[in-house]
Amino acid sequence: MRMRLTYLLIFLVLNCFFSATMIAQASVPAGELRQNLFSVCFKSAREGWAVGDLGRIFHTVDGGQNWRIYSAGTKRPFVAVSCVGDKLWVAGQGGQIAFSPDGGLNWRMQPSGTNRHLLDIQFASPHRGLTVGDFGTVLRTEDSGDTWTQIPLPENIELPPDIAEVVQPGDVILYSIAFADENHVWIAGEFGVILFSQDGGLTWQQQKSGVETTIFGLSALDNQRAWAVGMEGVMLATEDGGATWMRQSVPMPKGFVLPLYDIAVRGIFGWAVGNSGLLLYSQDAGKSWKLYDIPVRMAGSWFRGVTLFPDGRGYVVGARGLVLSLDRDKMTALKENY
């Protein structure tokens, strides 16, 4: 069970509770960001949001060159952000969800009904969303988060035999969500567990992933094509809605097998990010992947979140305020000190 706790705490530090009070600080250049960043979403090529430790929320309107920092009056990290138009949601420890209806000008807390740690939050529309977390937590909303409903996991989830002796199926830690559309959605987490819903998250069925390692990230191109990434350099892909998941061969730095934390595929372009400066990119809609040659001094940093537009532009966030600008098969670091 020590390994489970290690996975859960990779990006979390236990501190105090969230506050709904958002205090804007002066805008700072990307080169001066210091907090670890865990998740990112952009509403346009220039305007986006990121969340990180110390209860900070970051907003840019110039493509990540400068960021206005908002403090929520907490030292606990936000680990997930979702944006649909001007609506924003952030989630993190203790079941806390904060919502902004106006592009971050005003925020309020949403009662989630749980005190479990929430590790991802995603919205398929301005009204329908999901959030997932530890001990099998799945919450669903149809009203932009004004009310959240606990959704039970299937009772027949299969776990590896040695794990099933000590972990109840309903206690699996869930790390990631990927909507293909409002009805088709995947969630995934520990022990290679992948679940799929065809009714917007009301009911779930397990899909056989073929692996037993933790899955940290998901991306869905449509309701047939999706990807999953996780520990030990695992990357899985499906082209039949998850009826079969196949392990993809991906390049690794010589002598290393590194974890992958997140993946995004849009149009013909794709990027996957991981530990120790691991960056992979695709130019054929995720069919094959190449290792991006990063600067040596960046190799000690991890990347946690990636967002991508269909034209190949996007952003990556990670350790110590790292922000990368993506353009098809090229990356530009927006700070010099890694």
Coil, helix or strand at residue 232: helix
Q: Quick one: how far is CA 39 from the chain centroid? A: 6
Look-up of token digits 């804007």: 24
Q: How far apart are CA 4 and CA 278, in angstroms?
A: 23
Task: Give, for 2, the enclosing helix (H) or strand (E).
Answer: helix 2-8
pLDDT the model gives residue 14: 32
Mean pLDDT of 20-33: 74
Task: Give backbone dihedrals phi and psi of 214, rounded to 5 degrees, phi first.
Answer: -65, 135
Task: Count other C-beta atoms under 10 Å from residue 215's C-beta.
Answer: 27
Stretch 70-95: mean pLDDT, rounded? 87
In a domain, 305, yes or no: yes
pLDDT tens per residue, range 182-210: 999 999 999 999 999 999 999 999 999 99
Question: Tokens at residue 174, please?
Answer: 């869930």
Instruction: With respect to residue 103, please indicate whether it lies within any of the assigned structural domains.
Output: yes
Kindly report, residue by residue over 286-326, the tens digit of the pLDDT.
Answer: 999 999 999 988 998 999 999 999 999 999 999 999 999 99
Q: What angle do CA 166, 175, 130 make, to 5 degrees?
A: 115
Q: For position 12, what pLDDT does the model report?
A: 42
The pTM (predicted TM-score) of the whole model is 0.92
Give the model's pLDDT for residue 76: 76
pLDDT at 72: 64
Contact in structure between 241 and 224 (CB atoms under 8 Å): yes
Residue 116 placed within a domain: yes
Which one, of 256, 263, 194, lies nearest residue 235 by Cα? Answer: 263
Domain annotation covers residue 153: yes
**Secondary structure (3-state) at 174:** strand
Comparing 103 with 6, the larger pLDDT belongs to: 103
The answer to whether residue 338 sits within a structural domain is: no
What one-character DSSP code corresponds to residue 277? Answer: T
Beta strands in 30-86 (DSSP E): 37-42, 48-52, 56-60, 66-71, 78-84
Q: How does residue 108 score in pLDDT terms, banded at 50, 70 and 90?
A: confident
Taking a C-beta distance cutoff of 8 angstroms, is the pair 130, 185 a contact?
yes
Domain that holds residue 196: 2-15+25-333
Mean pLDDT is lowest, of 4-8, 67-71, 174-178, 240-244, for 4-8
Q: Is residue 20, in this structure, part of any structural domain at all?
A: no
Contact between 217 and 261 (Cβ < 8 Å): yes
Instruction: Tell me the CATH number at 329.
Output: 2.130.10.10
- Is residue 122, in this structure, part of any structural domain at all? yes
Q: Give per-residue pLDDT as tens, 222-270.
A: 999 999 999 999 999 999 999 999 999 999 999 899 999 999 999 999 9
67-76, 140-149, 243-252: the lowest-pLDDT one: 67-76
Average pLDDT over every residue of 168-173 = 91
In a domain, 277, yes or no: yes
- How many domains are contained in the chain? 1
